[in-house]
Structure 1
Amino acid sequence: MTTKPTLVVIPDGGRSRVVAVHECGDPAGTAIIHFHGTPGSRLELDFGGGLAADAGVRLIGFDRPGYGASDPGPISVTGMARDVGAIADHLGLGRVGVSAWSGGTAFALATAVEFPDRVSGVGISGGLAPFDRMPGARDGLTPNDLEALACLPEDPARAAEIFRDGNADMLEAMLSVRDDETSPWIDWMFARSDPAVITDPTARQALAVNFREALQQGIGAIAWDNVAFVGPWGFGVEDIATPVALWYGDRDEMAPPTNGQWLADHLPDARLTVVRNEGHLLPLAHLSEMLKTLSEMV
């Protein structure tokens, strides 16, 4: 049974919204706040609660707007960074580590920019480099994606609408996870890059739990996520003084290791690890060493 989330009320533009938070691991341990992937939820790393406890880590996940049990709303890079500050304040945390998987990358790095004296270390797994800076990154975008990005920065809501409408078939297929325990789209997303992971019952169950919770409110948050991290991030990674650990699988087709190399070349303090014969689902097999590395930074 899923633990009832902690609900954090965050002021936002004269109003307030609710953010759902989940904790696992060691309650007295080193605090690490995690940005889930796209799609993803506060439960993304809950499968690793025992690993976190063994590593002396208090692992904290939260739903971005429109995912899981968080109120829907716009998603921006700097806005999500500020959510971490509000969550840390609510939980009475001082210095923290920040981690991210895949689509959470831009938000995690922005948190180090927003709170340089509070974020002691950043851990990234399978993250994309900035699309507007990495050579060749935009070559893989569809005409629909480019149409959406042309609305930025003036009209992010319109950009999210265009992205959602243009990718409706794929996004709607993801919703099958809410009703189908077998989650067939996990196979067509990851069968080539992560065959061993998706055939492991425990790992597959962890994916299904995460995705099912992520998509409780539909597909709108995925569109907002993509607009946020494919569009301009609003900061330069060269300005991040916080140490960053980068992990990539050499079989990753969603975020090839060239992204990690670009980030390692431009971040002032970064360490890149490329794991052989692993894909995008790297944390499902290597979370223990990731947590150990990141906890040592805090």
Structure 2
Amino acid sequence: MPSPTAGRPTPLTIGLPDGRRLGLTRYGDPAHRPVVFHHGFGSSGLELPDDAALLARLQLQILAPDRPGVGQSSVYRRLTFPSFADDVAAMLEALEIRGPVGVMGWSVGGVHALALAARHPARVAAGQLLSTCLPLGEPAAYRHLSPLWKFLRWGQIGFPWLNRTTFLWLSRQWRRHPDRTIDWFIRLMFSEEARVTTHFRALLRDAAVAGFAHHGRGVYDDAQAWCRPPGFRIEDVRAPVRLWHGDADGVWAPGNIPYLARRLGHAPVRLLPGQGHMLYLENWKAIVEEMAELLGAAT
């Protein structure tokens, strides 16, 4: 394990109680208040802006674990939202972080952030959901999904071999032709997502290469977990939560975000005009400043 530093992002690997490895990236000074960041689908903990000066000013460190089968994290064949919440709790123990932490989640990472807060409430002081999704396999949430997302869940559950083959093929493209592959994805994106991804192209390219490690197994298992019953109740989240969403989000339209906010005790929603699914990248400073305020209020 590399020695902790207060400068550049530091890759770490820890051992989990069952013998698996958990890889993560630490941003900031290990002496500062910890925040756990849950990455998006098909990505990794490398997807964060590197702003050491901002974190130093706010006295925060960001711990961005890679889910099983991503980056340096071992594959886990029956990944669930609760199982990864337990992995993160074990990570905090291994890093000797005893008190409650902040938690963030982008896209499907928002559901993983909710699972951590619901399953380990003493571990979470405050949360932020950034362009978050709903758990596709929860019957109550399913009724609020768009026809497209219902169709995608049906395909993932009904034809798992096709999805496994697709993610295997994509893993090869990311490994062999990363620049060509991200350019291909940018051409398929909605305009706002394409604009931001182009600006942060190298960052998101490298995050995706790590995301599709292990022959795409982690992406497939993450999709399967997302489509199964979530294994936790959103209403069990007790920490204060804030939601950030763009009204031009082409991946997850904002229509059901008020529904999610109601289930979180009418959590405040910051709806940003003209912004899309990648809003966390362009609003990172304001997001991290809000987290510092939330943690300050919690203590």
- What TM-score does the superposition give when structure 1 sets the normalisation length? 0.85
2:291 paired with 1:294: yes
2:281 paired with 1:284: yes
User: Which residue of 240, 244, 247 corresponds with 2:241?
Assistant: 244
User: Which residue of 10, 17, 21 corresponds with 1:11?
Assistant: 17
Change over 3 Å in CA distance of 1:127–1:144 after alignment to 2: closer
Change over 3 Å in CA distance of 1:123–1:282 after alignment to 2: same
Per the alignment, residue 85 of structure 1 pairs with 89
**1:89-144 deviation line (CA, Å, top 9, x unaligned):** 11111220111111212211011112212200111111112333233416324767
Per the alignment, residue 134 of structure 2 pairs with 129
**C-alpha contact 1:7 1:21 (8 A) present in aligned 2:** yes
User: Which residue of 177, 180, 185 corresponds with 2:178?
Assistant: 180
Q: Structure 2 matches for 1:1-298, cutoff 5 A? A: 5-12=11-18, 16-74=19-77, 75-93=79-97, 94-131=99-136, 132-134=139-141, 135-137=143-145, 139-141=147-149, 145-146=153-154, 148-149=156-157, 162-163=159-160, 165-166=162-163, 168-169=165-166, 172-173=169-170, 175-178=172-175, 179-182=177-180, 183-200=182-199, 203-268=200-265, 270-298=267-295
Q: Which amino acid aligns with 2:69?
A: G
Task: For 2:128 and 2:222, locate their aligned partners in 1 and report how far apart those are by CA, in whole Å.
Answer: 19
**C-alpha contact 1:51 1:287 (8 A) present in aligned 2:** no
Q: Which amino acid aligns with 2:237?
A: I
Q: Match of 2:192, SS?
A: coil
**1:194-249 deviation line (CA, Å, top 9, x unaligned):** 2431332xx11111121112222221211111121222112221221111111111
**C-alpha contact 1:237 1:266 (8 A) present in aligned 2:** yes
**C-alpha contact 2:67 2:84 (8 A) present in aligned 1:** yes
**C-alpha contact 1:52 1:288 (8 A) present in aligned 2:** no
**C-alpha contact 1:47 1:206 (8 A) present in aligned 2:** no
CA shift at 1:191, angstroms?
4.3
CA RMSD of aligned residues (A): 2.4
Q: Number of residue pairs matched?
A: 281
**1:263-287 deviation line (CA, Å, top 9, x unaligned):** 1111125111111111111111011
- What TM-score does the superposition give when structure 2 sets the normalisation length? 0.85
Q: Match of 2:214, SS?
A: coil
Task: For 2:226 and 2:34, locate their aligned partners in 1 and report how far apart those are by CA, in whole Å.
Answer: 25
Task: For 1:111 and 1:71, locate their aligned partners in 2 and report how far apart those are by CA, in whole Å.
Answer: 19
**C-alpha contact 2:178 2:205 (8 A) present in aligned 1:** no
Q: Match of 1:11, SS?
A: coil
**C-alpha contact 2:109 2:132 (8 A) present in aligned 1:** yes
Which of 59-68 and 256-265 deviates more?
Answer: 256-265
**C-alpha contact 1:41 1:214 (8 A) present in aligned 2:** yes
**C-alpha contact 1:247 1:275 (8 A) present in aligned 2:** yes
- Determine what percentage of the aligned residue pairs are the same residue: 26
Q: Match of 2:268, SS?
A: strand
CA shift at 1:165, angstroms?
1.9
Task: For 2:25 and 2:135, locate their aligned partners in 1 and report how far apart those are by CA, in whole Å.
Answer: 29
Could you list the runs of 5+ residues in structure 1 that have no partner in the other structure?
151-161
CA shift at 1:148, angstroms?
4.9
Q: Which amino acid aligns with 2:178?
A: D
